[in-house]
Amino acid sequence: MIESPYILGIETSCDETAAAVARGRNLLSNVVASQVDIHARYGGIVPEVASRQHILAILPVVDRALGQANIKPGDLKAIAVTYGPGLAGSLMVGVNAAKALALAWDIPLIAVNHLEAHIYANWVIEDNGGEEEPVFPLLCLIVSGGHSDIVFMRDHLEYFLLGRTRDDAAGEAFDKAARLLGLGYPGGPAVQKAAEHGDGKRVKLPRAWLRGSDDFSFSGMKTALLRLVTSETLSTSPGSHPNVFDAAAAFQESVVEVLAGKAAAIARRRGVKCLLLSGGVAANGPLRRSLQETSPVPVFIPSLSLCTDNAAMVAVCGYYYWMAGRLSGLNLDVVPGLPLTTQQGSSGVFSQ
C-alpha cells in the first residue's frame, strides 16, 4: 500500500498568510498569520497593505508549518498553492514563494482554485475529527466575502456551477450591513453578535428568491436596510424599538433563510447524497443550524477554523490533485478573477 504523501499548502488570496502540511487528508499543521487587526482600522481590506504583510509573513509561516508537522522539506512530495481568485498582489506573493520553494526543493507545484479549496475543507481530518467523508454526487454551497455559489460535484475535481450571486456576495453583504449599522469590521461576526440581542421579527426586510433560478441576490436586502437606517433613528439600547440589534437580526435572518432554503431545495431536486457548506460565511452559527434543519440529506460543515481562509484546505485539495497526477509547471501565473468552472486541471466539461 502506497503511503499518503506530505503536501505543503500555501494560501495568500486575501489578507491571511497561511501554510499547512497534510498527509493525505490528515492535517499535521495549520498556521495562519491574520491581518484582521491591521485592516479593521480602515473598515475593510487595503490590497497594498495586505501584499506587504504577506511578504513579511510568508517564509516564517512556512517554517512554522513544517516545524509543527515535524518534517523537513525533503519529506514533501509537492507544494499546493492558491493562484486565484483573489487580490492580485496577495496571490502573487504566495505563488512566487511557492515557485521558489518548489524549485529549491525540487518538488512539483500544484495550482489550486481558492473556491475548490474551500470545498475541500470538508475532507480535512483534524485531530479531533472523524474520517467520514462526503459521498458523491453532492452539492456544495460556497459562501464567502467574494462569492456565493452553488456547485454540483459528480466526483473529485469535477464541478458544475449551478448558481451564483448576481450582485453582492453574502459575506460582502454582511460587511456592508455592519457598516450601515455601525457595528465594525469584519461584518459577519459583528452582525451575528449584535443579532443575539435583537428580534428579527420587529424589522421587516425582503427575501430575493429569484424563482426559477439557482442564483442569489443580496443587493435588495442591503438597500432595504439602508432605507431603514436613513428613515429611522435606530437606538443602541436593546430595550428600545426600533434598534440596531433588531435590524442586525432581521438582516441575518433574511440572508440565512435564502441561502439555506435555496440550497435545500436544490439538493432535493438534484437527488444528491449530501450537502456541503464552505467559505468564511460558513462560520455563521444560524446558517449552520438552518442548513442542518432544512436539508433533506446529511450536511458536512468544516470546523470554524477551516471556514475562513486557511492553507489546510489547499493542502488537502492538493492531495487529490497529486493522486490524479495533475501537476503544474513553474510558469504558473496568478488569475485574480478565476472562476471555479475554468480552473486549471479541471475536467473541462461542465454539462449535466
Q: Let me know whether 149 and 241 are in one domain.
A: yes
Q: Alpha-carbon torsion 198, 200, 203, 208, what sign?
A: positive
Q: Within a domain: residue 297?
A: yes
In angstroms, the CA 114 to CA 134 distance is 19
Q: Which residues are registered as beta bridge partners of 113?
A: 84
Does residue 347 fall inside a structural domain?
Answer: no
Q: Give the C-alpha distances (Å, rounded to integers) separating 162 from 22, 336, 337, 340.
A: 30, 22, 18, 11
Q: Round the CA-based radius of gyration of the chain to a whole number and report it.
A: 20
Angle made by CA atoms 89, 115, 210, in degrees to the nearest 5: 115
Give the residue from 258, 245, 205, 209 showing the smallest Cα distance to 228. Answer: 205
Residues 282 and 317 in one domain: no
User: What is the chain's length?
Assistant: 352
Is the distance from CB of 300 to CB of 276 less than 8 angstroms? yes
Residue pointed to by grid coordinates 456544495? 140
pLDDT for position 67: 98
Are residue 328 and residue 202 in the same domain, yes or no?
no
In a domain, 204, yes or no: yes
Q: How many domains does the chain have?
A: 2
Same domain as 15, residue 122: yes
One domain, residues 80 and 173: no
CB 270 within 8 A of CB 139: yes
Is residue 117 located within the same domain as residue 44? yes
Residues 49 and 142 in one domain: no
- Look at residue 245 and tell me if it is in a domain: yes
In terms of Cα–Cα distance, which of 114, 61, 85 is closest to 309? 114
Residues 104 and 253 reside in one and the same domain: no
pLDDT in tens, the chain (352 residues): 578 999 999 999 999 999 999 999 999 999 999 888 888 888 888 999 999 999 999 999 999 999 999 999 999 999 999 999 999 999 999 999 999 999 999 999 999 999 999 999 999 999 866 678 999 999 999 999 999 999 999 999 999 999 999 999 999 999 999 999 999 989 999 999 999 999 999 999 999 999 999 999 999 999 999 999 988 878 777 767 779 999 999 999 999 999 999 999 999 999 999 999 999 999 999 999 999 999 999 999 999 999 999 999 999 999 999 999 999 999 999 999 998 864 333 433 333 3
Residue 178 is predicted with a pLDDT of 96
Helical segments of the chain, H only: 36-40, 47-69, 88-105, 114-120, 170-181, 187-195, 219-231, 244-270, 285-294, 312-324
- In-domain check, residue 1: no
Neighbours of 347 (CB within 10 A): 11
The answer to the question of residue 79 being in a domain is yes
Q: Could you tell me if 171 and 250 lie in one domain?
A: yes
Say if residue 274 is in the same domain as residue 166: yes
Residue 350: inside a domain? no
**Whole-number Å distance between alpha carbons of 82 and 10:** 7
Query: Taking Cα atoms as reference points, which of 114, 52, 109, 100 lies closest to residue 78?
Result: 109
The amino acid that residue 233 corresponds to is T
Instruction: Please state whether the predicted TM-score (pTM) of the whole model is above 0.75.
Output: yes
67 shares its domain with 95: yes
> In whole angstroms, how far apart are CA 221 and each of 249, 253, 260?
13, 11, 16
11 lies in a domain? Answer: yes
Instruction: State how far the Cα of 67 lies from the Cα of 29, in Å rounded to an integer.
Output: 8
Distance CA 245, CA 242 (A): 9
Please tell me whether residues 291 and 150 are part of one structural domain: yes
* CATH label of the domain that carries residue 336: 3.30.420.40
My answer on whether omega of the bond before 242 falls inside 30° of 0, hence cis, is yes
Domain assignment of residue 319, given as a range: 6-126+305-342
111: left (phi over 0), alpha (psi -120 to 50) or beta: beta
